[in-house]
Amino acid sequence: MLKLPKRSILRNQRMFQEVYLHGRSWANRYLVLYVFPVIGPERKAGFAAGKRLGNAVTRNRLKRLMRESYRKNQDCLSEGFCYLLVARKPAVGVKEPKMERAFLELAGRASVLRQGKV
């Protein structure tokens, strides 16, 4: 079982802003994926759900779904990048398999999936 260690999660606002402002973005109906190259073999991820998506329970559920989709597929992603996943309004009612498909679609369009993994 893969684990998502705390050191591989974007925590501070400065890193979120750097990825958001300087990274490339890809979007679909449910998610926006920002990808920002970093020096070194590390791979970090951040997860965001704005207040317009609903109350705290709804936003936390969306972040859990995004974290789980990332955690399951983190070995398929290229290293040396910071990833930021932002939920969109249609994602509020989706289940985990649909969220995972949306994430993999964006990762494929961003060309950050390793060859032969998915």
Q: What is the pLDDT of residues 31-59, one digit of tens each?
A: 999 999 998 888 899 999 999 999 999 99
CB atoms within 10 A of CB 1: 4
Domains and CATH numbers, the chain: 7-109 (3.30.230.10)
- As a whole number, mean pLDDT of residues 56-83 equals 94
pTM value is 0.90
CB atoms within 10 A of CB 49: 23
CA neighbours within 13 Å on the CB side: how many for 112?
27
Using an 8 Å Cβ cutoff, are 25 and 32 in contact? yes
Using an 8 Å Cβ cutoff, are 38 and 88 in contact? no
